[in-house]
Amino acid sequence: MMRILFIGDIYGEPGRRILMDNLDQLKSDYKPNIIIVNAENSANNGRGITQRFYKELMAAGVHCVTMGNHVWGQNDLVEYIDDSHIVRPLNFPKAPGKGYDIIKYNQQTVLVINALGRTFMNANLESPFFEIDKVLESEKADFTFVDFHAEATSEKVALGHYLDGRVDAVVGTHTHIPTADNRVLPKGTLYITDVGMTGPLDGIIGVDRDIVVNRFLYGYSPANVVANTKNQLNAVIMDLKKKTIERIHIED
C-alpha cells in the first residue's frame, strides 16, 4: 500500500490558512501514507517559503516540500535547505540543496523529484528530461514521484509519456489552474497536467484581480498583491499500487 496526498501550489497566507484548516480532515478522509506539498508561493508575497512555515508543515505531518521557479524568493532558504526535506528544482545547473529526496514509510521508500520546465520559462536550465534520467539511474526506491513545475501543457504531457512506466506518478504544478486529465498513462504512470493552487479562488492565479486585469489593459500595474477572496484547496490523492489518481477540490 502506498497512498500519496499531493497538495498544489500554496499561495500566500490564504493558501497557508486553508491548508492548515483542512489538513487533519484530509488525513482522516483519504488516509495518505505520504503527504507532499508544493510551497514555492507560500510566503506572504507569493515568493518562496519561510522557515517558520516549513517547520509548521513538518509539525503538521507533511513529509516533503517541493518548489519551483520562485524557490529562492526568501533569501534565508539557502541557510537551511541542505538539512531539510525541501526539494528544489533538479535542473538548476548549480544551486544549494537537492533536486530529489527519499522519504521512508515503514519498510518502503519514495523517491520525490522536482523539476522545472524550460518552455516559456528559463532556457538556461538543464534539460528536465535528461536530469531526471540521471537520478533514476543513480537512485533506487520502491516508488518514484515527480512534481514537474512547468508553463507549457505540451511539455508536461511530453515528460509524462517520456517517464511512463519508469516512475509511478508525474504531477504538474505552476499554472495554478487544475486540469481534468488525471489518468493512468499507457504504461502505468499516474498523471495530471496541473493539480491547481491552494489559495485565493477569485484572484488571478493568486494575485489581486484588478492588478492583473490592468496589466493586460495598460501594460503596467503595481507590484503583485495576494488576492483577498474566498479560498480554495486543490490536491490529488494517488494510490500507487492500485493505480488510481483522484482530484480534490475544497472551497471556504
Residues of the chain with pLDDT under 50: none
**Domains of the chain, with CATH numbers?**
3-201+233-251 (3.60.21.10)
* End-to-end C-alpha distance for the chain, whole angstroms: 31
Output the pLDDT for position 139.
97
Please state, in angstroms and rounded to a whole number, the distance separating the CA atoms of residues 239 and 53: 27
Cβ–Cβ < 8 Å for 15, 41: yes
Q: Which residue type sits at 70?
A: H
Cβ–Cβ < 8 Å for 117, 150: yes
Output the pLDDT for position 114.
98
Output the pLDDT for position 221.
80
The verdict on whether 149 is a catalytic residue reads no
Please state, in angstroms and rounded to a whole number, the distance separating the CA atoms of residues 14 and 145: 27
Residues 6 or more apart whose CB falls under 8 angstroms from that of 242 comprise none
Output the pLDDT for position 223.
84
Q: Which of 70, 85, 174, 176 is catalytic?
A: 70
Task: Give the cell for residue 123.
Answer: 532556457
List pLDDT tens digits, range 29-63.
999 999 999 999 999 999 999 999 999 999 999 99
